[in-house]
Amino acid sequence: MKTRSQSTKNSLSQLPVEIKSLIVEQTALVTEKSYPGSQKFLKLALVDRSFHKLCSPTNWKELNLRCYGKYRLRVLINEILHEQAKHVQSIGMGLHPDGVPNQKDDASDSETIDSSSDSTSIDSDDEFPEEELCYILEICTNLSKMEIRYEPTSLDEFGNFIIDPLRPITMMTPFISQLSNLTHIKLDNYSDNGTYSSEESLVKLLGKMVHLVYIRVDFIKASFPTCDLCECPQSVQPSVSPLGVHLASLPSLKVIVFSRADCFNSDWSKLDWKGELEELTLHCCYDVSLRALHGFCSLLKNSLVKLSLYFVPVSFSDDNLTHILPESERTLLFRLPKLQNLSIFNLYSAEFLKLFRESVNINRINLKSTPEICLEDLKQLMNHEDPVWSRLK
């Protein structure tokens, strides 16, 4: 006697291909809405061969390879990717086994290897899977998105990436820099010692990714540290941020997400931005002044839709005064007609929020609760009889 699941499976198998295709399409949409941002697998692929084929573009669109060692990657390559690689559009990698045997012999001629560490003999599945990861990047020719838990590297005197045997994920840097079709890249700094990426190494890494739409990077060291908070020797620099210059040249760029980026300063508003930036997130960028932020947002006033600020901007270098806006800065109104979504978390949220009163199309505001925000401040801003933002949802 057939079970209900067997009967359902048989009934689905007998459907015309056109109907199967519609079922897969709608199931994929519902799954995406229910589990946004996570890897999906449509179990319809287990019904029969035709369902398997129809589900493949969804099931293998994203690959999460984090923590995979050589054995698991080889199984994935041999049993799945030889057939499904053409469907892969997004890859996540990082946190792999980090053993590196015979590192001096295997070094790429085009990159610099730190020779301070000796080769060791280790079990093959404890090795860093450089060969397997590089092969996957090679066969996934439709790849457009990459998220990697990485450790920063720098450049040698010849402009090549320095490969550190003690941080084998740096072996992947030269290969990632060749992925010219990427539109989305997320670089999560996983350095134990808090190493920052240099702007020059990031520019080299991103140099061929001319179609970038989205970029997220953590921990960036400024090549030319600039002080926007006072008049001092660092207030004026002879050169502009190399990363800023590069990102400004990208015509498709829509989203920038920075965390602990020392390179963002007032000079970014003086660049000729080819793209129409729609989203900007600055997280714990402690050197960003209100004037620098205001200048950059004003430059993007006709495109900026979403702005998220966490411990940004700062008004004074004295941490004890950062919740007070001086009179001179209270005149820096943000007139951003396209802005809809605003998130603020700093020590003068209420005062800072008032500077957006002429961004009249804001429909969503997210404020983190701090002692500096009182109920009276919010009541003034949310006056129903004379609302500052009539479109708030």
Query: How many C-beta neighbours within 10 Å does residue 294 have?
Result: 20
Query: How many C-beta neighbours within 10 Å does residue 106 have?
Result: 14
Nearest to 195 by CA among 150, 228, 234: 150
Least confident of 203-207, 261-265, 314-318: 314-318
Residue 212: is its pLDDT beyond 60?
yes
Q: What distance in Å separates the CA atoms of residue 7 and residue 9, rounded to the nearest whole number?
A: 5
Residue 33: is its pLDDT beyond 80?
no
Mean model confidence pLDDT for the chain: 84
Helices (H), 142-271: 173-176, 199-206, 242-248
Nearest to 287 by CA among 259, 317, 267: 317
Domain residue ranges in the chain: 1-59
Q: What distance in Å separates the CA atoms of residue 136 and residue 92, rounded to the nearest whole number?
A: 12
Containing 25, the helix (H) or strand (E) segment is helix 17-34
Choose between 207 and 190: higher pLDDT: 207
Mean pLDDT of 301-309: 97
pLDDT at 375: 74
Mean pLDDT of 244-269: 95
pLDDT at 261: 94
Q: How many angstroms from the chain centroid is the CA of residue 366?
A: 21
Least confident of 112-121, 266-275, 327-336, 342-351: 112-121
Query: How many C-beta neighbours within 10 Å does residue 235 have?
Result: 13
Helix axes 4-13, 49-59, angle to 10 degrees: 90
Q: What distance in Å separates the CA atoms of residue 234 and residue 390, rounded to the nearest whole number?
A: 42
Nearest to 200 by CA among 233, 156, 166: 156
Residue 117: is its pLDDT beyond 50?
no
Would you give the DSSP letter of residue 196? P
Least confident of 138-152, 229-243, 295-309: 229-243
